[in-house]
Amino acid sequence: MAGPDLGPEIGPDRITMQVTRYRPDKTSQPVPLDYEVPLRKEWTILDGLNHIKAEQDETLSYRWSCRMGICGSCGMNVNGEPRLTCGTFLSDYAPGPVRVEPLANFPVVKDLIVDMTDFMEKLPRVKPWIIRDDDVTEIDGEYLQTPDELDAYRQFSMCINCMLCYAACPVYGLDPDFVGPAAIALAERYDLDSRDNGARERLDVLIEREGVWGCTFVGECTRVPQARGPRGRDPALQAQGCSGVGQGVPAPPGVQVSTSTGRVPSYQQRIGVFWWLRKRTYFAFVMRELSSIFVAWFVVFLVAFTAAVGGGDESYEDFLDWASHPLVLALNVIASAFLVLHTITWFALTPQAMVLRLGGRRVPGFVIIAAQYAGLLVVSAFIWWLVVIA
């Protein structure tokens, strides 16, 4: 469908949209195709796609519905970042070209349409609905709630199932078992709802390896400008649109058949070996994970040191000779840098990983971080006193 007349073009300008096309009945691999569209000030990426479909290539397939950031169906990767295309303006990418690809981390069934099966199967696992201990029916009345009780979960109640957070999450891309950011946010939304008694049931899912432990706090899900999942959730699990897409179509040669449905021919988007160099946050995440190896190294070093001390003077001298070897020294310098990184990042993550409450009120994150540094200072001072003074 063509976009309505939304105003004058910006002069004669046009912009190239490089759209990933994948038609399993014709090709086995996705190919980027260039389309030129008018560069109008008010046109969004979705308007550009609609223009292509109406004027240039009616076979282009993609999802959309509301055109106002409500239905969550128009999510795509724009220049590598997950975006709602109805809320992303073409002019922000001028002079172009602007790359439009299917959402990352999902199998693609056609052009810009991804297979949502995995996402739709994961959400109900956290039981995103109100669970009651009692058996109240609508005849008995409403579940009443005060404004303060509403505020407790309001920030979690705005998700539109757009899946942008899943496309942004490198963990979901690498570990398909991970339940994902929106499911975790949904669980929290209902756990915080004063009308709900289902926290225990949701916890059974969240404490699994693929539950909250899968989250490594890369935080990309919370940085997608239009994603509201990790910060909010809507209780309604709407039936996914686009029913019937690709169902029952036999896969052409060379096309991987989605294991999630067993029926939909699709291709799985590849995650390159150097995916962690794509973003500063990904890089920081991998460095943080890597730092654990150096923590383990220092544990080994400490055990060796203790054994050398316990083994007498000769053994201690041997240890000192070994420890002063340039290679061991260099390794320890590098390990020390990673240890500092490990300490800083894990201290910073603690308030996100553990919610502490005192007297029913949540302890602010900076207090938890400050307490950790204070503890580190006290322990360090004690060890210094033990080794140097005592």
Binding region for ligand FES (CB under 6 A) = 64-67, 69-74, 84, 86
Distance in Å, CB of 367 to ligand FES, minimum: 39
The full DSSP string for 1-42 is -PPP--S-EEEEEEEEEEEEE--TTT-SS-EEEEEEEEEETT
> What phi, psi does 201 have (nearest 5°)?
-65, -40
- Quote the tokens at residue 91: 């002019």
Instruction: Specify whether the CB–CB gap between 347 and 369 falls below 8 A.
Output: yes
In the complex, the smallest distance separating the C-beta of residue 168 from ligand FES, rounded to whole angstroms, is: 16
| CB nearer to ligand FES: pick between 49 and 212 | 49
Q: How far is the CB of 82 from ligand FES (least distance, A)?
A: 12
Which residue from 111, 121, 74 is spatially nearest to 265, judged by alpha carbons?
A: 111
Give me Rg for the CA atoms of the chain.
27
Pairing of strands 98-101, 75-78: antiparallel
Q: Which is nearer to ligand FES, 87 or 176 (CB)?
A: 87
Q: Is the dihedral of CA 252, 254, 258, 262 positive or negative?
A: positive
Is 69 or 365 the residue whose CB approaches ligand FES more closely? 69
Could you tell me the smallest distance in angstroms from the CB atom of residue 257 to ligand FES? Answer: 29
Compute the least distance from the CB of residue 240 to ligand FES, in Å. 13
Q: Which is nearer to ligand FES, 243 or 324 (CB)?
A: 243
**C-alpha angle 41/47/52, rounded to 5°?**
120
Q: To which H or E segment does residue 349 belong?
A: helix 326-353
| Tokens representing residue 33 in the block | 């195709």
Q: How far is the CB of 65 from ligand FES (least distance, A)?
A: 5
266 neighbors 257 (Cβ within 8 angstroms):
yes
Q: Considering the complex, what minimum distance in angstroms separates the CB of residue 172 from ligand FES?
A: 21
Distance CA 65, CA 48 (A): 15
Whole-number minimum distance, CB 279 to ligand FES, in Å?
Answer: 24
What's the min distance (Å) between Cβ of 63 and ligand FES? 8
Nearer to ligand FES, 69 or 97 (CB): 69
Look up residue 125 and give its two tokens.
């696992």
Identify the three-state secondary structure at position 268: strand
In the bound state with ligand FES, the residue whose beta carbon lies nearer, of 47 and 191, is 47
Strands 357-358 and 81-84, how do they pair?
A: unpaired
Q: Based on CB atoms, which residue is closest to ligand FES, 111 or 196?
A: 111
- Closest to ligand FES by CB, 66 vs 303, is 66
Strand bridging mode 267-268 / 107-110: antiparallel
The pairing of strands 98-101 and 9-21 is parallel
Q: Between 229 and 351, whose beta carbon lies closer to ligand FES?
A: 229
CA 163: distance to chain centroid?
A: 9
3-state secondary structure of 356: coil
